[in-house]
Amino acid sequence: MSRSRAIATVVLVALALGFGSSLVLGPEADALVSNSTLTMVDGAVSVRHDGSAFSSVREGDVIAAGDTVRTERGAAAEITYFDGSSVRVDSASQIVASSLRTSDVGVGHALGRAWHVVTSLISGGSRYEVRTPSSTASVRG
């Protein structure tokens, strides 16, 4: 094999590995960004991950898509999302973090009251959406 052919083969393999790794790591990087944090826990607050039983949480714990956060009577919690938006969950309330992608934050509001503060969204196609049993509110762009 000629030297130029060997160099061309090495360059092609490097490009293929680089392109392939970006395809593989792309969703993982999105998953890392999409984690959100409990920035305030006051009283009895619990979370259910992936349909498991509820367990108590503390400030700094990570909330991921699919998690359900529940506050008992007299308790409150605040979740700060990766984009800086936040939701304060009042006493005796329950919400579900249904979607936490970089372009889409979705919250299911199941019970009680919650206060949402939406920051500037990441891109023009970004969306922050709150769904209740009877209505949906969205912020886009």
Q: Are 7 and 48 members of one domain?
A: no
**Same domain (yes/no): 17, 54:** no
Alpha-carbon distance of 139 to 105, in angstroms, equals 10
The parent domain of residue 63 ranges over 35-140
Cα–Cα distance measured from residue 101 to residue 69, given in angstroms and rounded to the nearest whole number:
18
Give the pLDDT of residue 25.
39
Residue-wise pLDDT tens digits, 8-30 = 565 555 545 444 443 443 444 44
Residue-wise pLDDT for 94-105, tens only, equals: 999 888 876 678
Number of compact structural domains in the chain: 2
**Model pLDDT, residue 23:** 41
Residues 59 and 86 in one domain: yes
- Sheet with 94-101, strands from edge to edge, namely 55-56, 45-48, 68-71, 94-101, 104-111, 127-131, 136-140
CB neighbours of residue 103 within 10 Å: 15
